[in-house]
Amino acid sequence: MTTFNLPDLGEGLTEATLLSWLVAEGETIVVDQPIAEVETAKSAIEVPSPYAGVVTTLHGAVGETMIVDEPLITVGAEDEAGSSAGSRSPGSSSSGSEPGALSYREEERAGTVPATGAVTDPETAGADAGQEEGSGNVLIGYGTSASKNGRRRRRRNGTSRPGTTGGAAAPAAASSAQSAESSTSGAAFSTSGAASSTISSAQKAPRVSSPLVRRLAREHGLPLAELTGTGTDGMILRADVLAAIDSPVQTAPSPASQAGAASGSASGSASAPATGSAAAPISSSASTAGTPAPGGLEVRERVPMSGMRKAVATTLTRSRREIPEATVWQDVDMTEVLALRSRLKEQSQKDGTTAPSLLALLSRFVLAGLSRYPDLATRLEDTAAGTQEIVHYDGVNLGFAAQTPAGLVVPVIRHAERLSARGLHGEISRLVGEAREGKISGKELTGGTFTVNNYGVFGSDGATPIINHPEVGILGIGRILDRAWVVNGELAVRKVATLTIAFDHRVCDGGTAGGFLNFVATCLEDPSSALADL
């Protein structure tokens, strides 16, 4: 068996919160298959496995803080899973890789391993095991040393790792006497040979043709173990998952879930699933659930802040504490720029290109404004001598706020001043897609020198945005409304939005911020003339 440690996540990050397990103990996995979703201070990402084989141990519970270079998952050959499950202790692991122990890099087997768990050519498998960096995984640290004894994993309130005391459900039931003993002590694994056989059969992983099928089932809350595959050798196909989604009839519980329920009943307490693809908010512990709160209310639950929320809180708190920001705003007639975008969309349909979005056009005008008012794209830094310097750069790394299921993130377009409006649109689309899928890298979330925030998509007319420290300026735009507007001395109905800029008053004054805001507003109101100078 081989233990895979949580890899280096880059950007100097040393820990991550386990959001969900994407595999279960006893499940057969392939190389590069996502095994867990973790959240760092930068983003939520899926961790792929560099090994193929049968999952024997999941080292952590949902909601737990995992430390880089400590065990994440243990994988063994299929014939090892049943024989070792009954004899191993919850914390045991093997850091070495034995020849023939794993089916390594067998993507052509479409998500399965041979029934015997044997490798056709042990020497070839052993050689492949030393080439982990060739798997296409983007995370750093595969093949790192075993976990260090001096480092401890911090655990969230109300959670416990699988296989430890605290109410974690046993993966399978053994004899009645052993079940009672296990429920009393909280042990997660039986020590009898009969229990090993039960675990092996109860946790036998379903055969699935691709990770896409797993993702589809996971998104609709369908346990793969409860589905019947119609493919070769019972392989679960996409059509099987779609049929289960459309079917109103619920499938019977799997043997593993029945065993877990029996164990939880014997112990007299609710059993927390050891694994799962989704988790409800972590409830407070029994000692705090009924604690009186001010006003006579009782605490219903306590939800720990995620790594991403903590990072956002730290940045915004520091911004409010250190930056003496000022805010100015201006109403802008957006009628002409909306008409321009409509013409670009019509033209793109004819020539097969992509029309830039309104945010891309706004970003292009913002970049033009920053070239005229460069102080707004600087940073204020302390020197070793105890003085402060305003740092100017040879370009603009433009950040833009994007809402994702995990929260608000600010992807950064590097050297955005080099891109056209269409080029900016392409980068915005790419980064937003990666951020919402939880696949954006930490590097693409740092290094910004100015930020644009389109809070109009939430139906907000205006706002006072907080500067993204250590930047010195942020521009926001509200929703576009029909308003009465004077055009050439006559009253008309126009498309109007409010532009707002918050700036660091230590770096520049209101004249700079106001001049920049007026320039961007003029570009939006008369984009044809503005584009001639860009």
Catalytic residues: 505, 509
> Regarding beta strands 450-454 and 398-400, do their DSSP bridges make them parallel or antiparallel, or are they unpaired?
parallel
The pair of three-digit structure tokens given for residue 348, joined into one six-digit string: 């793109």
Distance from C-alpha of 472 to C-alpha of 456, rounded to nearest angstrom: 22
Distance CA 217, CA 227 (A): 10
- How far apart CA 330 and CA 525 sit, in angstroms, is 12
Rounded alpha-carbon distances, angstroms, from residue 513 to 289, 475, 509, 518: 50, 10, 7, 9
Distance CA 48, CA 214 (A): 14
CA-based nearest residue to 504, from 361, 368, 369, 324? 324
DSSP state of 191: -
Could you tell me how far CA 502 lies from the centroid of its own chain? 29
Percent helix, strand and coil across the chain, each to the nearest 5: 35, 20, 45
Q: What is the DSSP letter of 8?
A: B
336, burial (CB in 10 Å: exposed 0-12, middle 13-18, buried 19+)? middle
Q: How far apart are CA 446 and CA 449, in angstroms?
A: 9
For residue 262 the two structure tokens come to 């029996």
Q: How many residues does the chain have?
A: 534
| φ, ψ at 339 (rounded to 5°) | -65, -40
